[in-house]
Chain A
Amino acid sequence: DIQMTQSPSSVSASVGDRVTITCRASQDLSRGLAWYQQKPGQAPKLLIYAASSLQSGVPSRFSGSGSGTDFTLTISSLQPEDFATYCCQQAKSFPLTFGGGTKVELK
């Protein structure tokens, strides 16, 4: 199984900050990586797929980069509604696997 290691597990930031979250895969994913946002009591929301493709309706302050084993989610200017948990998922092979999540908290 492909292991997904996400870091950091939490980050404290302020509105307007640039936030970067990384995900490392134990095997080459090519571009088979997605990012989700999840708020308490809600289902996950797809932000990025194919490593860098922005899902329709997602603000452009979210961006994804990387290929192979190392990937990054960047929030260019953190907004109040962005405080949430972010999670990566590899879509290269079964079983699909998720990273452990990064909680973005208010500093």
Chain B
Amino acid sequence: EVQLLESGGGLVQPGGSLRLSCAASGFTLTSRSMTWVRQAPGKGLEWVSGISRSGDGTYYVDSVKGRFTISRDSSKNTLYLQMNDLRTEDTAVYYCAKASGDWWVGESWGQGTLVIVSS
């Protein structure tokens, strides 16, 4: 059974950093593309970042480019999102999702981890 478990969220001041983790089980991370999607309180879904199956392609929404970095550790079967220079508008529940085959759509999702950026 595929499971994704996010962790690392919390309260951080503007300008601070957090690293989110997404521990995968039931499949090998390197077998699928992976994405991070966020949802601000009471708002819709926003795609944040993705990493290709091969790992040589990383993609970001413009609002996080230069601040966020997606990566993975195959030995730990874990996906990461390093978030630097956090802003209040980054406050959201962050989900990791496993892509569906050749399509960049979320076939399986974690339960999410809440990031609050506030002074």
Q: Tell me, yes or no, whether A21 is within 8 Å of chain B by CB.
A: no
Q: Is the CB of A43 within 8 A of B61?
A: no
Interface residues of A in 52-106 (CB under 8 A from B): 55, 87, 89, 91, 94-101
Judged by a CB distance under 8 angstroms, whether A19 is at the interface is no
**Contact flag A98-B45 (CB < 8 Å), given A43-B95, A43-B112:** yes
List which B51-106 residues lie within 8 A (CB) of chain A. Answer: 59-62, 95, 100, 103-106
Chain A residues whose CB sits within 8 angstroms of the CB of B46 once the complex forms: 98
Whether the pair A44, B109 counts as a contact (CB closer than 8 A) is yes
Q: Which residues of B contact A49 (CB under 8 A)?
A: 100, 103, 105, 107
A residues adjacent to B (C-beta < 8 A):
1, 32, 34, 36, 38, 43-46, 49-50, 55, 87, 89, 91, 94-101
Q: A43-B109, A43-B111, A43-B112 are in contact. Are A95 and B47 (CB under 8 A)?
A: yes
**Chain B residues touching A, range:** 20 to 34
Q: Which of B's residues lie within 8 Å of A, judged by CB?
A: 35, 37, 44-47, 50, 59-62, 95, 100, 103-107, 109-112
Complexed CA–CA distance, A44 and B105 (Å): 11
Q: Is the interface of B mostly helix, strand, loop or mixed?
A: strand
Contact assessment for B105 and A89 in the assembled complex, using a CB-CB cutoff below 8 Å: yes
Q: Given the complex of chains A and B, what is the CA–CA distance between A50 and B47 in angstroms? A: 18
**Neighbouring A residues of B47 by C-beta, 8 Å:** 89, 95-98
Contacts of A46 in B (CB 8 A): 100, 105-107
The answer to whether A87 and B103 touch (CB under 8 A), given A43-B110, A43-B111, A94-B59, is: no
Some 16 contacts from A to B, beta carbons below 8 A apart, are A34-B103, A34-B106, A38-B45, A43-B111, A44-B45, A45-B109, A46-B106, A46-B107, A49-B100, A89-B47, A89-B105, A91-B103, A95-B62, A96-B35, A99-B44, A101-B45
Q: How many angstroms between the C-alpha atoms of A32 and B106 in the bound complex?
A: 13
B39 shortest CB reach to chain A, Å: 9
